[in-house]
A and B are shown apart, each in its own frame.
Chain A
């Protein structure tokens, strides 16, 4: 029986150093049984390194790590029997069929997932007897997941599961991941896509520069971002009301205003517009998205950081 609240992954002060570069700088992480937990962050934030330490592919330079109660560095085989790993770039034997490939991996585990179930969860029933080299990109990615599920793992590591998917394939993959949660699996998901994290994850950890900046449910991260965004078209030299002018920023012919109290600010703004005959063209008021939270926490254009 799944015991809710039990930690499946737990780290304390986890560190990884490559020469002079500290890729992971002391992170504390706790993932509970049955959660879909997303790790977000720009390239070079230390996501992949963190996940590879938890998978047992890398050794850590410092700190504690427990995965399903095991030290991932030590109990390699015992741990691998209970985890599934779906990496970003991995190959499969091109001349075997889908069913043979899943069967090959099922044979490595003491209590494998039945073949039909692995095919059904990943929607590969029709491709069962097809050679791996004849699969489309999306089908190969689903086969990656099927292979990750071959051992009926308690914990599944999913690294960028929908990169390169078209929108409908992405929706399909999301349905598949929700299906995994329904089966009681714990999923550690790394992704670049904020909408993916928002749609799938119970909790999100945002990483930047080797540290975890924040951890929470996506909806609460967004709710905690107090400021709404008021935006309208106006010339740069427009004389805004005195109460608003200090907080306004100008960009590409628009005025943007971060507002913790949009009702009051809009009242001031519309009063000013009516009095002065300003149009407030293209006026929008929006709640922050996970993307806004992410960009603020990771320091803006996070993609500019180097690969670590």
Chain B
């Protein structure tokens, strides 16, 4: 009970520290909208062939940017902040206090998920308002489940990659080098009808970003007749998440590497 109260209190302090750095907070929120607008301008809001259906460019980009948001707030931010705080000794100090490790992690991850959900709502509202994108109705539960599984997978992978990063100077390079290529080959920046080679799609199908983007495309697809759940993609995401969690537990550390 006490530990749970402490965990919730961590979220409050994470939020306060985030709010106190307004420049960083502003760009965190502006970032996905910038991408949504730029990509819709470059590739046009005209029709895109998505599977058997034809949808507008923005209808494709709203879930695509939502997937980008999950990767950024969970994977990139969690990995970077872990490495920076580990190097600065923040984590070691926390380990010296009687705060259970899980309560600290809970604060970190819960706050990442809150930011991710806020960004998802902003992106969806922006798409609805300015591009007339229709939002999920019957498939809303599927979208929520996909976001939850995606957040779990990418937070776990963020902690796992943090364990492999030797120091804070190396963090941006390693995190970007692992995330950016996958974002390019997983139908996030570039729409699927551009003519991506099949082998590239096969390669990207191994990795979790494509599973997330495809599951979200289904959830946001206005022509989706069913509930919009993608069990195969969700299963693959969950498997990546469990693998990431095990690696993070085995190799993760709270102390600066020497």
Contacts and interface: CB of A to CB of B under 8 A. Distances in A.
A176 interface: no
Contacts of A105: 97
A94 B13 CA distance: 12
Contacts of B96: 55-57, 80, 85, 87
A162 B4 CA distance: 37
B53 interface: no
B98 A108 contact: yes
Interface string A77-99: 11011000101011111011000
Given A87-B89, A90-B89, A57 B97 contact: no
Nearest to A58: B255
Contacts of B256: 89
A100 B93 contact: no
Given A93-B13, A131-B20, A81 B89 contact: no
A260 B22 CA distance: 69
A46 interface: no
A109 B92 contact: no
A104 interface: yes
A288 B236 CA distance: 72
A81 B2 CA distance: 13
B99 A108 contact: yes
A93 B90 contact: yes
A44 to B, nearest CB: 13
B13 A108 contact: no
Interface SS of A by simple majority: loop
Contacts, number: 61
Given A96-B20, A104-B13, A87 B97 contact: no
A151 interface: yes
Given A87-B93, A107-B6, A95 B21 contact: yes
Given A57-B96, A108-B98, A151-B98, A91 B17 contact: no
A147 interface: yes
Interface residues on B, range: 20 to 34
Contacts of B98: 77-78, 80-81, 108-109, 151
Interface string A116-150: 00000000000000010000000000000001000
Given A57-B95, A80-B96, A80-B98, A92 B90 contact: yes
Interface string B88-114: 111011011111100000000000000
B230 interface: no
Query: Interface centre among B9, B89, B93, B100, by most A CB within 10 Å?
Result: B93
A132 to B, nearest CB: 10
B255 A80 contact: no
Given A108-B98, A151-B98, A87 B13 contact: no
Contacts of B100: 77
B90 A96 contact: no
A162 to B, nearest CB: 18
Contact of A57 (B9, B17, B85, B255): B255
Q: Which 6 A-B pairs have the closest CB atoms?
A: A91-B88, A95-B20, A90-B89, A80-B98, A85-B96, A90-B93
Interface of B: 6, 9, 13, 16-17, 20-21, 85, 88-90, 92-93, 95-100, 255-256
24 contacts: A55-B96, A80-B97, A81-B98, A85-B93, A87-B89, A87-B92, A87-B93, A87-B96, A89-B89, A90-B88, A90-B89, A91-B93, A92-B90, A93-B17, A95-B20, A95-B21, A96-B13, A100-B13, A104-B9, A104-B13, A107-B6, A108-B97, A151-B97, A151-B98
Given A80-B98, A92-B93, 20 more contacts: A57-B92, A80-B97, A87-B89, A87-B92, A89-B256, A90-B88, A90-B90, A90-B92, A91-B93, A92-B90, A96-B17, A100-B13, A100-B16, A104-B13, A105-B97, A107-B6, A108-B6, A108-B99, A109-B97, A109-B98
